[in-house]
Amino acid sequence: MKVAIVGASGAVGQEFMKVLDEQNFPVDELVLFGSERSAGRIFTFRGKDYVVQLLRHNDDFKDIDIAFVSAGANTAKEFAPTITKHGCIMIDNSSQFRLDDDVPLVVPEVNPEDALNAPRGIIANPNCTTILMVVALKPLERLSHIKNIQVATYQAASGAGLEAMDELALQHAEIAFNHDEITVRHFQHQLAYNVIPHIDVFQPNGYTREEEKMYNETRKIMHSDVRVSATCVRVPVMRSHSEAIWIETERPISPDEARRAFMSAPGLVVYDNPYTNKYPMPLFVNHKDPVYVGRIREDLSSDNGLTFWIVGDQIKKGAALNAVQIGQYLLQHGLNR
Ligand SMILES: NC(=O)C1=CN([C@@H]2O[C@H](COP(=O)(O)OP(=O)(O)OC[C@H]3O[C@@H](n4cnc5c(N)ncnc54)[C@H](OP(=O)(O)O)[C@@H]3O)[C@@H](O)[C@H]2O)C=CC1
Ligand SMILES: N[C@@H](CC(=O)OP(=O)(O)O)C(=O)O
């Protein structure tokens, strides 16, 4: 299998190399792409060095079977025709195509079969925060239809990419050394020792685009009319997103019933014992594959309400791992070039 990673130098691109290896994905040949900023850089995969190629409009994708693309929405839009024109399947991590009717939006634990209907050769990987949430919602939806979701997110700096991670580290150093000015480039405000209730751009309805993604993408992935009200918050955590989730279902689901459903669901680990201070936290979840769930209890504010807390590594399950799992599903079902 000939595989490409577009955006190889980035946070998600680097994770792709780790995950492809961990998952024993059948990579016979690997081609890395980037902009002029990283073209020429060398990365090692399975003990072999690969030089990043400049992404251009040419026939470089002619013999490539799958391209894992994590280079932002504008690059995805511009290069999708070049990547797919000879039959290469493009699994894209950006928001560019997610809501297009002829592009499936796939989380393998939830709607894997949608991946088999990709008329444009493009499969979209959902928003990271949404991926983590729907993995936990799916087993509950099987028990009773989820009507409403309220969610507050606690999103790590790495959700904004590698340079944003550097910025958080730099801010801590600047504060430690009593700098007069704190560097703020990627976030709207200083993130160190702060939380910022603002991710992506504000919309006329007062929600941000990140919050609207959680509304629209959850409905598309789950084939559901569920209503979602999200508040997405950036927190000074380096990696892994956390979410406090409240759901209202058609019939009541008890915490014990929910716990049993979570325990038998793919991609989920129940980590929940308030008597021993056991609940998921980013530092514990970093670099792990599953979504972790804890603090499972009744929602006292609604009749059929349940509330719980999830944490997942958003660079891994929220991006690279989810995309590689889509690739694995395609391989199992006869990759259609
Ligand atoms: N970080 C995360 O947690 C998540 C990110 N995503 C999505 O994944 C994508 C990448 O994010 P992330 O890795 O965090 O970002 P980074 O900023 O860390 O990396 C961006 C990558 O995109 C590449 N790139 C940018 N412009 C071009 C271009 N014109 N041609 C080729 N490559 C280009 C960069 O290459 P170069 O260095 O050469 O410019 C770099 O490798 C985004 O769409 C993001 O929304 C999705 C889910 C989670
Ligand atoms: N959700 C990411 C941003 C991102 O990459 O989102 P999307 O892939 O939906 O554009 C964050 O924490 O900042």
**What are the tens digits of pLDDT across the range 94-152?**
999 999 999 999 999 999 999 999 999 999 999 999 999 999 999 999 999 999 999 99
For residue 97, the model assigns a pLDDT of 98
- Residue 135 CA to residue 107 CA, distance in Å, equals 8
CB 65 within 8 A of CB 89: yes
The answer to whether the beta carbons of residues 11 and 168 sit under 8 Å apart is no
Query: Cβ–Cβ contacts within 10 Å for residue 92, how many?
Result: 27
Q: What is the pLDDT of residue 314?
A: 98
Closest atom of ligand 2 to CA, residue 125: 8
For 228, list phi and psi in degrees, rounded to 5. Answer: -125, 125
pLDDT class of 337 with cuts at 50, 70, 90: low
Contact partners, residue 276, CB within 8 Å, separation at least 6: none
Q: Which pLDDT score is estimated for 336?
A: 56
Q: Is the ipTM of this complex over 0.95?
A: yes
Average pLDDT, the chain: 97
**Rounded alpha-carbon distances, angstroms, from residue 271 to 94, 130, 268:** 30, 20, 10
Residue 334: band (very low, low, confident or very high) from pLDDT cuts 50, 70, 90: confident
Measure 40 CA to ligand 2 centroid, in angstroms.
27
Long-range Cβ contacts of 185-188 (<8 Å, 24+ apart): 186/160, 186/161, 187/157, 187/160, 187/234
Are 15 and 315 in contact by the 8 Å Cβ rule? The answer is yes
Q: Which atom of ligand 1 is nearest to the CA of 96?
A: 43
Q: Closest residue (by CA) to atom 25 of ligand 1?
A: 71
Q: Facing residues of 268 across strands? A: 291
Task: Note the pLDDT of residue 243.
Answer: 99
d(CA 41, CA 261): 46
Which residues are tagged catalytic? 128, 241
Does 18 score more than 60 pLDDT?
A: yes
Beta partners for residue 105, in sequence order: 124
335 pLDDT band (50/70/90 cuts)?
Answer: confident
What's the one-letter identity of residue 306? L
Give the residues surrounding ligand 2 with Cβ less than 6 Å away.
94-95, 127-129, 155, 159-160, 199, 210, 213
CA distance 196 to 232: 9
CB of 237 closer than 8 Å to CB of 158: no
Residues at the annotated binding site for substrate? Answer: 155, 234
In sequence order, what are the residues at sequence separation of 6 or more whose Cβ sits closer than 8 angstroms to the Cβ of residue 37?
A: 9
Model pLDDT for residues 49-62, shown as the tens digit of each residue: 999 999 999 999 99
Q: Pseudo-torsion of CA 48, 40, 80, 82, nearest 10°?
A: -100
The finding on whether 11 has its CB within 6 A of some atom of ligand 1 is yes
Positions at the binding site for phosphate: 98
Computed from CA positions of residues 46, 51, 54, 60, in that sequence, does the dihedral angle turn out positive or negative?
negative
Report the binding-site residues for NADP(+): 9-12, 37-38, 158-159, 314
CB–CB of 40/49 below 8 Å? no
Question: Using CA positions, which residue lies closest to atom 5 of ligand 2?
Answer: 159
Encoded tokens for 186: 């990627």
Give every CB contact of residue 135 below 8 A, 6+ residues apart in sequence.
107, 109, 110, 265, 267, 268, 291, 312, 317
CB distance 162 to ligand 1 below 6 Å: yes
Residue with the two structure tokens 């007062």 = 206
Ligand 1 neighbour 87 (Cβ under 6 A):
no
Cβ of 32 below 6 Å from ligand 1: no
Any idea which residue has 């058609």 for tokens?
250
Q: Pull the structure tokens for residue 177.
A: 């050394």
Percentage of the residues of the chain whose pLDDT score is greater than 90: 99
- For the chain, which domains are there? 2-126+319-332 (3.40.50.720), 130-314 (3.30.360.10)
